[in-house]
Amino acid sequence: MSDNVPLQEVTIGAQCKTLRLPTIGSHFMRIAEQATREGHSHIRYLDALLTAELEEREDRLITRRLFEAKIPRLRTLDDFEFKVSPVSMPQIRELAEGAYLERAEPVLFLGDTGTGKTHLMTALCVQACRQRKKTRFISAAGLINELVEAQRNGQLSRALNRWKRWELLAIDEMGYVPLEETGAELLFQVITERAEKAAIIITTNLPFSEWSTVFPNARLCKALLDRVTDRAHIIETGTESYRFRRTIEKKKKKSD
């Protein structure tokens, strides 16, 4: 190795930093040594460098998307127990491919507590992040509280614009508690502004016929249902809590 090599390494490292190519800056010497050992051409060496940079950049983007999504607990489809659920695995796998995102189609999970609604929604959120989509997970109560607070502080327009920028908005636990009229109207506004423009996923424990029990305005409730069910993928997760059954099975194993 000549006396100039260390200086060249420093120079290349500085140039990569200026060009914002951190992976190339960190690995160019290691990949160069490997290329020399294996007799690779200059073109193949360059291809290996650029591939490493792109792969690392992709990993960083996905990590950022997952962080921005604010998913409470990461879950995947591989963790879901399809064998004890009425949910169709092929249908969910097809959704996971992401075509519904491109078509801005709603996805609704309906079922009792413990039947896997949030798990499935979370898994689709994770998959959307891996597809580089700007994703946000929030409970219906959390979203409404944020909107009401923004309205109180005279920042509602700014808050609504923030919610419009997500390519996928996942709203958990719709209908779990009755809504005040102001909160229901603000929620309706968020959902309406996304209609046919960006995808939304909703989980609820209420059949559609009972949504009027939590939305104080019957006309608004009907209009909201029209928005969320139009072109929607409606998936029923059943009434039997597999989470409860899993707990019982664990207790049985311990007692055995």
> Residue 254 domain-assigned?
no
Mean pLDDT of the chain: 90
Find, among 24, 22, 46, 25, the residue nearest to 35 by Cα.
Answer: 46
Task: Find, among 114, 118, 117, 115, the residue nearest to 137 by Cα.
Answer: 118
- Verify that 13 and 135 share a domain, yes or no: no
> Domain ends where: 37, 61, 85?
61
Same domain, 41 and 98: no
pLDDT at 57: 87
Of 4-18, 21-35, 38-52, 70-84, the one with minimum mean pLDDT is 4-18
- For 96-144, write each residue's pLDDT tens digit: 999 999 999 999 999 998 899 999 999 999 999 999 999 999 999 999 9
Residues spanned by the domain of 13: 4-61
pLDDT at 247: 65
A 10 A CB-CB count for 50 gives: 13
94 with 216: CB under 8 angstroms? no
CATH code of the domain in which 141 resides: 3.40.50.300
Which pLDDT belongs to residue 10? 86
Candidates 171, 169, 178, 166; CA nearest to 204 is 171
In a domain, 253, yes or no: no
Q: What pLDDT shows up at residue 1? A: 41
Tell me, yes or no, whether 67 lies in a domain: no
